[in-house]
Amino acid sequence: MRKRKPLQVHAVDDVSFSIAKNETLGLVGESGSGKTTLGRTVLMLEPRNSGRITFEGVPISEVKGEELRLFRKKMQIVFQDPYSSLDPRARIMDIVAEPLRAFGEEENVIDEAVRRVAAEVNLPTDSLTRFPHEFSGGQRQRIAIARAIVINPKFIVLDEPTSALDSSVQAQILNLLRKIQEELGLTYLLITHNVGVVRYMANRIAVMYCGKLVEVGSTREVLEQPLHPYTSALISSIPQPDPTKRMDAVPVTGEVPSTINPPRGCRFNPRCTYAKDTCRTDEPNLRKILPGHLAACHFAENFIHEACAK
């Protein structure tokens, strides 16, 4: 019997970035970009082949076992799907208390903490004894957020926190997230495919495509002066809620390539209108184009236009 060599998928390939305290970094990308995998790897929920993760100066990627478990007190995550992220057979108070129980807090401390965070996220007091199926999507997401903050973490990964919610509820949750960020001094890694959300929430943006980082910079700069063709294509593809601003032509054709067999050279080159020969052979590195603004394109400088008055 011949054993087939397993296909290797580099979901995240050579990605480096840092997040400052109290900052929100928005990680933007489409499906297959690797953003969700990256978010989970940062929390050490996924194994990684190489690379280092440093938290408050400590290289947590070298830490194992019990020591790593203790770091979980400081880093938490809110998942995308409010329907599967809560145990359907557990009561809300137990769901929210879970991180506290993991670290052996006493019952009266737990009790008080749970009530406190429930009030913080605007959950009615009688909801603590109920079960998840009695709540709407938006309320469940509040419960998930309560669970994430009950242990007073410093850093939270928000994995598409509002993608599964209706737009009217999305606004409530976004406002809530900003409110608690201010009050508790939190740092966020916000993963989303929605540019409107990231514009409203993030200080800085990192754009991913096919497992690679293609552009990093402050939110305003990246959205108003994108230096990478994919970023501008992405921004132009977003439909505006304004019928006078319709797209004339389709910004980009083709499909997002699979990470199993990415294109040679720059991964975006098959779909890029500006692609030249070098793009097909050399993979561009993420490099500084303007102060605080990086892009992975051989010709990024060409995209700087003077029409930006800052």
Q: Which parts of 211-270 interact with other proteins (CB under 8 A)?
A: 219-220, 233-234, 236-244, 246-247, 250-256
Residue with smaller CB distance to other proteins, 99 or 262: 99
Contacts (CB under 8 A) with other proteins, residues 37-96? 43, 45, 69-70, 72-73, 76-77, 79-81, 84-91, 93-95
Q: Closest distance between other proteins and the C-beta of residue 51, in Å?
A: 20
Is residue 273 part of the contact set for other proteins (CB under 8 A)? Answer: no
Q: x/- string (CB under 8 A) for other proteins, residues 124-143?
A: -------x-x--xxxx----
Residue with smaller CB distance to other proteins, 10 or 199: 199
Is residue 101 part of the contact set for other proteins (CB under 8 A)? Answer: yes
Q: Closest distance between other proteins and the C-beta of residue 128, in Å?
A: 8
Is residue 8 part of the contact set for other proteins (CB under 8 A)? Answer: no
Is residue 289 part of the contact set for other proteins (CB under 8 A)? Answer: no
Contacts (CB under 8 A) with other proteins, residues 189-208? 193, 195-197, 199-203
Residue with smaller CB distance to other proteins, 83 or 301: 83
Q: Closest distance between other proteins and the C-beta of residue 162, in Å?
A: 10
Is residue 274 part of the contact set for other proteins (CB under 8 A)? Answer: no
Nearest to 128 by CA among 103, 156, 147: 147
Q: Closest distance between other proteins and the C-beta of residue 274, in Å?
A: 16
Is residue 166 part of the contact set for other proteins (CB under 8 A)? Answer: yes
Amino acid in the structure at residue 281? T
Estimate the crossing angle of helix 137-149 against helix 92-102, to 10 degrees: 20
Is residue 111 part of the contact set for other proteins (CB under 8 A)? Answer: yes
What are the C-alpha distances in Å from 63 to residues 52, 56, 67, 76, 199? 11, 14, 6, 17, 35
* Cβ count within 10 A of residue 139: 20
Residue with smaller CB distance to other proteins, 242 or 306: 242
Q: Closest distance between other proteins and the C-beta of residue 102, in Å?
A: 4
Residue with smaller CB distance to other proteins, 203 or 278: 203
